[in-house]
Structure 1
Amino acid sequence: MTRRTPRKAALFAVAATGLALSLTAASPAAAHAGHHGGSAGALPPAGAVGHVLVIDLENESYAATFGPGSPAAYLNGTLLPQGELVQNYAAVGHVSLDNYLAQVSGQAPNLVTSSDCGTATGAGYLDVRPGTPDPDQTRYPGQVDGQGCVYPAGVPTIGDQLQSASYLPGLPTVVDWREYAEDMGNDPARDGGATDPLGGTDCAHPTQTAGSAADATGNAEGPNATGSQVRSGITDQYVDRHNPFVYFHSVTDAAASCARHVVPLGAATAQPSGGYRYSGHLARDLAGPFTTPRFAMISPNVCDDGHDATCAGVNAAGTTTGGLAGADAFLKAWMPLILNSPAYRDGSMLVMVTFDEGDDTDTAATDNERPGPGNANPGYSPLLNTPIPAFGGATYYQLLGVTGLTPGQQPPAGTMPGGGRVGAVLFNRFWITPGSVDTTGAYNHYSALRTFEDLLGLTTGGADGRGHLGFAASASDFGPDVFNRVPR
């Protein structure tokens, strides 16, 4: 996350309504009641879904995205009739990075990842210390102890799982996984990374040096713009905190492998006659089923994912509008490529579009989310409870009318249990009924990770010995409420 600073007026508007979140509304027992051993769902048969593609957008509640008056007209009008809306899908934390990390590794928010590694908490691109497995693996499956942002080499991601797995015997080797990060390396001096032959850089992340954890990619290139004060020539709106794989030594320490797997997205160029012309890695990879990754994550830039309300550069439609309208423009540009790809059309690809977290006042949790050892309240962010000089020393929580929080102090354990309801849209031509709405399931980012692991045949290792990383081991698979169609 790191809040959308161009939306200060909106923050004040929310605060003026007197909207308040009572920190006594949720109890630890209510937040964590239910099973703790994971739950298998009625998934398609083994091998039916061989590819998973995830698009993460930013910082919107379910009501804002899918409710009346939503500016996401393409998402609601064109995409929903082709997929399934999962209403009760929630984030697990309340900034960006903690949610992205959960999606690919099952690691729970700690106090530093819950602050986007921000300097307000005295952090930065620093290792999780001590980074050792928590001694109570029954309570904290797969979790490591400590605070920090970059996980030790012993903490795997779903990418690591796929690289070490054997699959499809006798068939040509397919791409195991890729992260497609929009704008990564458009300014190589700022972003870092290895030069990519298609443009930009690969595996772009800050360089860790003794005594320094500086991160030049905390925001879009140049200062965030407000109103009409948009800097000309801004072409790099990449931020690393929306690219979770570069926060794992298991990925970044193998430089050549990281450069193959963490690559720039490419470009979608609008054509005068309509439609788009695509270039770059995603377009090349989706051209055939054996070049389509088994797991793919797309991280739009901070204009196209809706993070910034007014963008430093331009969005996929060529304007400076961000928020849901900007995110919708990105989907309109890229989803036709994805839904017309061979792997999607033959039914072997599951596509999920979701958001990293809900709005600032919603800390709802689903699927029996539990806190990790590094933060007793996954929905609490020290960054959002830090006084802001520009706002007269008020915190973002105070500006939003959240009650019961003392600046700089954590709330009682269990009172902010999750990242709020965001919803998700899932697409598969054979196993999901187009235009359906799931009102019964309750899932989160851990549930998604568990489901992806099971669909992709990752059945050994992990926190439970059955292929589930971190808190995916205690989450539920998507059930028949999601996979609600049987191919004829």
Structure 2
Amino acid sequence: MPQTLNWPDMSGPERKPKPMIWKATHQPRLKTTRRRTWLLMAAVLAPFTVTGTVTPGQVQGAGCVYPASIPTVAGQLSAAGKTWKGYMEDMQTPCQHPEPGAKDDHQGARAGDQYATRHNPFVYFEEITSSRDCRHNVLDFSSLAGDLRSVSSTPNPAYITSNLCNDGHDSPCVDGRPGGTDGGRVGALVLSPLTAGGTTSEKLYNHYSLLATIEDSFSLPRLGYAGAAGLDSFGPDVFNGTP
């Protein structure tokens, strides 16, 4: 039985965490006006201009694509000698993304191509896209099955993102399937030998809790708000079993 995390509905900067296995689920659907505004902002991948930092070292500024000077958990893993990969459903080529400042033509689904750049977090960091790691590690979802055939090719952490139909975003889907439904709370599952079957938790966690948990698991420094005072990584309410 998987671990299930439940939390009250939230809005603002502290939003709901994604699952521990890095399976990205869909977000509540935005009202039409807000969604159109968001899509217009995301249609061009503007370089991020850093204007400053706030405690505990979180950069502030405007734009989408962070400069290579901004560290990432992917970079931390590589530096520590760990492996990582991202698997994006319907991504046509490895590390597929528009150049900073260029128009993003993967905002909406097309028949046979329902990949969305905005659901691929790796391509928003030049530390990753400027490295050969991007073409080797940010792959189409079809590569996952082959990588899982052996321990040596299975990455330490793997991030998986569905296409715009299978993530519940579009309804109906461009291929005729019914797709998702209106928003709601996003579920999170922790599948681990360290979690007792049937466990549930009502403790509040957010995205930074997940980042902190990943970094703690690999003995990495916490980045940005993951290192904020008082922020909890997943605790004994989640990891309450024995391997």
Q: Which residue of 1 aligns with 2:109?
A: 220
Kept after mapping to 2: 8 A contact 1:432/1:483:
yes
The 5-angstrom pairing of residues 252-271 of structure 1 reads 252-254=129-131, 256-266=132-142
Mark the runs of 5 or more structure 1 residues left unpaired by the alignment.
1-81, 104-113, 168-175, 186-200, 222-233, 267-280, 315-319, 325-357, 360-420, 459-466
Kept after mapping to 2: 8 A contact 1:158/1:453:
yes
Q: Which residue of 1 aligns with 2:227?
A: 473
1:323 equivalent to 2:243? Answer no
1:290 aligns with one of 127, 137, 152: 152
**How far is the alpha carbon of 1:117 from its aligned partner?**
8.6
Relative distance call for 1:86 and 1:451 in structure 2 (3 A) is same
1:153 equivalent to 2:68? Answer yes
1:163 equivalent to 2:78? Answer yes
Kept after mapping to 2: 8 A contact 1:182/1:265:
yes
Kept after mapping to 2: 8 A contact 1:218/1:240:
yes
Mark the runs of 5 or more structure 2 residues left unpaired by the alignment.
23-33
Kept after mapping to 2: 8 A contact 1:91/1:422:
no
Kept after mapping to 2: 8 A contact 1:116/1:241:
no
CA shift digits 1:306-329 (9 cap, x unpaired): 000100126xxxxx12116xxxxx
Q: Which residue of 2 aligns with 1:309?
A: 171
**Aligned residue-pair number:** 225
* Equivalent AA in structure 1 for residue 209 of structure 2: S
In the TM superposition, structure 1's runs of 4+ consecutive aligned residues that sit over 3 Å from their partners are: 89-94, 114-123
Q: Which residue of 2 aligns with 1:435?
A: 198
1:125 equivalent to 2:34? Answer no
Kept after mapping to 1: 8 A contact 2:43/2:107:
no
* Equivalent AA in structure 1 for residue 102 of structure 2: A
Report the aligned-residue RMSD.
2.8
Q: Which residue of 2 aligns with 1:300?
A: 162
**How far is the alpha carbon of 1:457 from its aligned partner?**
2.2
CA shift digits 1:448-471 (9 cap, x unpaired): 11001111221xxxxxxxx00111
Kept after mapping to 1: 8 A contact 2:90/2:140:
yes
Relative distance call for 1:457 and 1:302 in structure 2 (3 A) is same
Kept after mapping to 2: 8 A contact 1:179/1:296:
yes
Relative distance call for 1:116 and 1:240 in structure 2 (3 A) is farther
Output the TM-score relative to the length of structure 1. 0.43
**How far is the alpha carbon of 1:243 from its aligned partner?**
0.3
**How far is the alpha carbon of 1:435 from its aligned partner?**
1.9
Structure 1 SS opposite 2:189: strand
1:456 aligns with one of 213, 218, 223: 218
Identity %: 40
Q: Which residue of 1 aligns with 2:209?
A: 447
Output the TM-score relative to the length of structure 2. 0.82
Q: Which residue of 2 aligns with 1:204?
A: 96
* Equivalent AA in structure 2 for residue 299 of structure 1: T
Kept after mapping to 1: 8 A contact 2:59/2:224:
no
Kept after mapping to 2: 8 A contact 1:183/1:264:
yes
Kept after mapping to 2: 8 A contact 1:89/1:444:
no
Indicate the structure (1 or 2) with the bigger Cα radius of gyration. Answer: 1
**How far is the alpha carbon of 1:124 from its aligned partner?**
2.0
* Equivalent AA in structure 2 for residue 469 of structure 1: L
* Equivalent AA in structure 2 for residue 87 of structure 1: N
Kept after mapping to 2: 8 A contact 1:90/1:422:
no
* Equivalent AA in structure 2 for residue 183 of structure 1: D
Relative distance call for 1:245 and 1:90 in structure 2 (3 A) is farther
* Equivalent AA in structure 1 for residue 233 of structure 2: D
Relative distance call for 1:119 and 1:433 in structure 2 (3 A) is closer
Q: Distance in 1 between matches of 2:190 and 2:233?
A: 14
Kept after mapping to 2: 8 A contact 1:181/1:301:
yes
* Equivalent AA in structure 2 for residue 216 of structure 1: D
